[in-house]
Each structure stands twice: as structure tokens, then as C-alpha cells.
Amino acid sequence: MALRTADFDYELPDALVAQEPVSPRDASRLLAVPRGGGPLGHHAFRDLPDLLSPGDLLVANDARVVPARLEGHKESGGRCELLLVERLTSVPGLPGARFRAMGQASKALRSGQRLDFGAMAAQVEVAEGEGFFVVRFDRDGTAFDEALEGVGHVPLPPYIRRRDAPADRERYQTVFARVPGSAAAPTAGLHFTPELLARLEARGVEWASVTLHVGPGTFLPVREEDLSLHRLHEEAYEVPERTAQAFADCRARGGRVVAVGTTAARTLESAAQAGEGLRPGKGRTTLFIAPGYAFRAVDAMITNFHLPRSSLLMLVCGFGGHERMLAVYREAVRLRYRFYSYGDAMLIA
């Protein structure tokens, strides 16, 4: 029988939704889940080197979160809010940074409206529907970047029921973040510290990176009950040449490719070529992974605990087994693991 969205539901007490990160980062809990079955292991994230083997390859998403949430006013004085999800190519003759954004306002935003965010302004170029808009700002380049840093907010997810704080600028960011442009953090990477990365290197575990700027394809809910009808929004990714080579070398020596997070997993699977390794370069993906998907690139995965009925939970169930992973989630609830972006992690291997 085909799985439906309701088959990926579970009960979670509100008290288990992490509102603040732990400190230090690697003090979070790590639930070890044998992919082929067997008892669960309960660890601290700092124990990760002991759970991996020399020759394994960790592949992480090095996207850097920008202060992508903007609060302002329309010309009429009504409130408006934007979440910048993807930078677009500038239009010749029309200066200003352009973005695809999710928007909401006291009354629906319309094409041609001017939006005021204090240190900068924007105009709605196109209303695309379903809450998406193309907007063009009154500046570009360094001037735009500096203004965004000044007025933008850290795009914390809505289940973190507080306003962003100055500490989130550093904490809702991985220590290896490099390429700016993401509207959400690749949260499985939030648990790593420089000291832990050094211990992994000493263990003989290799490290490589990909880039996927997290956008609505990752975090929007699955609205179709029939999973075959669900479509993800496109997201841009890049696989460096050195990562493709590290992948080939890992395969050759018999190591495991360990995806750090669902975005790294989707990038690897999007770039995987049957029997031909990993295709380097830039691309765009709408890959939706659910039970029944045959993984070609990922052997193990580090991931946080995800929202019910979400595409991320469906991906994890596709990797670890539907019934198995829902049972793991029930056990994590029983043992009061912390859930979602600032919560604990699991290693499925």
C-alpha cells in the first residue's frame, strides 16, 4: 500500500522542542541507530569519532546563513515581512539586488508595491503565488550586504517561539559555514566544534563539503496527502571537484560516505551518477526522497530530529526504514531527547 503524508506523523510534547542551543555545541546528545537493525546507542555528540572508522568520509553543507528575515512597512503603513530565499540575476538597466522571497503583510502584497525596511527599501516586481514574490532592492553589492547585516534578522524557524537574539548570529551557524546565501541553517552541522573536527581528523576520518542554500524546498510542509503528488521547490547546489575526488577515493578504499544532514544527503544523491561516482559542478535539485528511494551515494547520515509530516522526516525514513525510524522517534520522545533545529542529533549507520 502506498504511503501517505499521515503515515509520517508522531506525537511530540511541546516541552521537547528546543528553544535554545546547548553549550558547548558538542554537548548535545547523539542517538546511534544501526541502519540494519539492532539496539540503539546513547551518546554525547562529542563521542562521534568513536562511532566512525578511519577511512570514512564526512560530507557537510558549508552554506552560510544570512540575516534573511526582514520586517518593515508598506507605503500605506501596514506591516510586512520578507524571508529572502534565493538571490536572482540582476536585470540589465535596473540596478539593485533581486531575490525570490516569501512574503506576508497586513494585506496581500502586490506587484509594484514599495516596501520600507529602514536602512533600505525594495519593490515587489512579481507576485508568483503561494506566498512567493520577486523583489528588487534599492542597492546592490557591498552596500546591500552591509544594509542586510544591519536590518536583517536571523531566520529562526517558527517553532522557536522567541525573537532572534544577538547570540543567534553565531549559534545558528555552523563553525565551517563558508558560502553565504542560505535562509536556514543545515542544522546537523551545528553540533561540530573546531576541537571535534580536529579529533575526527586524528581518527583518520576525512572531511569534504558541498553547498546547498537551504530554501523552501527543504523547509516547507508537505501539503499533498498523496506523496506522489508532492513537488519540492528547486534549490541550487554545488559539488566541488575535490569533493567528487574525495568521494571516489572513499569508495575505492571501502570507507563509508557519511552525509552531515539531509541537505548534504540530497546534494550527494542529486549529483550521484549510477556507476560513475559524483558529478562535480553546479546544479539545481527538486529531488524528493521518501521510502522506496534507492540511495546511491550515502552510506550513513547524521541528522537532527525533524517535524512530523515533513519532507525531511520522509527522507530519514527512506534511509533508515519507515517503521524503524518512527519507532526510534517514539523512543527519543520517551527518553526526552531535544527536537528540531537547536535539538539533539542521531547517527544512522
pLDDT digits (tens), the chain, 349 positions: 688 999 999 999 999 999 999 999 999 999 999 998 899 999 999 999 999 999 999 999 999 999 999 999 998 899 999 999 999 988 888 889 999 999 988 888 999 999 999 999 999 999 888 889 999 999 999 999 999 999 999 999 999 999 999 999 999 999 999 999 999 999 999 999 999 999 999 999 999 999 999 877 676 778 888 887 788 888 999 999 999 999 999 999 999 999 999 999 999 999 997 667 899 999 999 999 999 999 999 999 999 999 999 999 999 999 999 999 999 999 999 999 999 999 999 999 9
**Residue of 151, 159, 147, 268 lying closest to 211 (CA atoms):** 268
Q: 332: Cβ–Cβ under 8 A, 6 or more apart, which residues?
A: 31, 305, 339, 344, 346
In a domain, 19, yes or no: yes
Owner of C-alpha cell 576520518: 205
In a domain, 255, yes or no: yes
Residue range(s) defining the domain that contains residue 111: 69-151
CB atoms within 10 A of CB 54: 12
In a domain, 163, yes or no: no
Residues 59 and 76 in one domain: no
Show which of 123, 151, 179 is a domain's final residue: 151
Owner of C-alpha cell 512530523: 308
Residues 337 and 218 in one domain: yes
**Residue of 83, 73, 94, 86 lying closest to 140 (CA atoms):** 94
**By three-state DSSP, how is residue 281 classified?**
strand
259 strand-pairing partners: 59, 301
Name the pTM for this structure.
0.95
